[in-house]
Amino acid sequence: MKEFKIAVLPGDGIGPEISVQGVGVMSAVCEKFGHKVSYEYAICGADAIDKVGDPFPEATFEACRKADAVLFSAVGDPKFDNDPTAKVRPEQGLLAMRKKLGLFANIRPVQTFKCLLHKSPLRADIVEGADFLCIRELTGGMYFGEKYQDNDKAYDTNLYTRPEIERILKVGFEYAMKRNKHLTVVDKANVLASSRLWRQIAQEMAPAYPEVATDYMYVDNAAMRMIQEPRFFDVMVTENTFGDILTDEGSCISGSMGLLPSASTGESTPVFEPIHGSWPQAKGLNIANPLAQILSVAMLFEYFDAKEEGALIRRAVDASLDANARTGDIQVEGEKACSTSEVGAWIVEYIRKA
């Protein structure tokens, strides 16, 4: 028996709706395997700005810090997106959470589902069998470097230090060892000094992992290769900005952003979240795809070496797809779309009967 203390951050937009489904699945699995689980709910994003003026208030940080893991959903609201003068934004809460918890590694699996190959914008023969990890450095680079802006000039500093690069590359090499022993380091070393340091350090570290085939790829080439030959990749590691862009590109391979989970890990409490945003236009409509949130729960269990629990969730998701218990974004033509809550209830019922 394990005991889990989970901080739940539903956030904005569709966040609360998909959060309910993730919590429901986690509770069902814990009941099935005899684990104890407790939840502490906390505010973040636009919701927190409206309530306390801070997108990641201290009370939320404390709830996260004391938890075993954070189940996070989404942040973002158009009223901030459409106001370029806004000094406080929901996304600042996400950055603050990563920084305060020391979450320097974002792990995003990219995989295809056989029954959904037709949903990918790429040909089925290109994407079938694609299964790789994007590992993105989360707390350095331009997002956190020195910034300046006036009416005539602006800059963002892409600063990286050796310890920051070494620790994320170590994550990349270790994941490659667990998978197919192939690591691709993505940079722009022909132009950027920061990338040249990344490549130098990666070349220094590679001999310590002789079983891993390590290759190096410029980010523009990597973006093209992901579309032309996604099965080439096993584990990809890169810096913050490149990783942000490439992981969103990778999400299209599966056919829907609503299918892919992620984990952010590092010095403190790990965070598990879907890769998609808050989709404010769908707020309250009960139409959002909860599978990425539910698969984030699978990643949570697997992080704590509860592999059977994670595997059961993955089987339940596969079964729901096979049974056409799907939201509208991935439903088969001619079949009735299920609501967010109906998909969640179907998966919970499968877990209880398994």
pLDDT tens profile 178-199 = 999 999 999 999 999 999 999 9
Structural domain total, the chain = 2
Q: 78 and 147: one domain?
A: no
Is 66 an active-site residue?
Answer: no
Q: 93 and 110: one domain?
A: no
Whole-number Å distance between alpha carbons of 10 and 4: 18
Q: 124 and 33: one domain?
A: no
Residue pLDDT, tens place only, 103-138 = 999 999 998 888 888 888 899 999 999 999 999 999
Catalytic residue among 143, 175, 209, 216: 143
- Residue 349 above 80 pLDDT? yes
- Residue 86 above 80 pLDDT? no
- Residue 290 above 90 pLDDT? yes
Task: Establish if 63 belongs to a structural domain.
Answer: yes
Select from 228, 256, 284 the last residue of a domain: 256
Q: Which residue has the higher pLDDT, 182 or 139?
A: 182
Report the share of the chain in percent with pLDDT over 90: 82
Is 54 an active-site residue?
Answer: no
Query: What is the per-residue pLDDT for 177?
Result: 97
- Write out the two tokens for 331: 């439903």
Q: What angle do CA 59, 167, 242 make, to 5 degrees?
A: 85
Select from 233, 256, 279 the last residue of a domain: 256
Q: 88 and 68: one domain?
A: yes
Q: 112 and 240: one domain?
A: yes
Q: 141 and 246: one domain?
A: yes
Could you tell me the CA-to-CA distances from 208 to 33, 170, 177, 205, 214 in Å, in that order?
Answer: 39, 10, 12, 6, 11
**Looking up tokens 């398994």, which residue turns up?**
354
Task: Establish if 334 belongs to a structural domain.
Answer: yes
Select from 222, 256, 290 the last residue of a domain: 256
Q: 99 and 109: one domain?
A: no
Catalytic residue among 12, 160, 187, 188: 188
Q: Which residue has the higher pLDDT, 256 or 212?
A: 212
Catalytic residue among 156, 248, 318, 329: 248
Q: 189 and 222: one domain?
A: yes
Confidence of residue 80 (pLDDT cuts 50, 70, 90): confident
Catalytic residue among 244, 283, 318, 329: 244
Q: Average per-residue pLDDT in the chain?
A: 94
Is 41 an active-site residue?
Answer: no
Residue-number span of the structural domain to which 124 is assigned: 105-256
Confidence of residue 40 (pLDDT cuts 50, 70, 90): very high
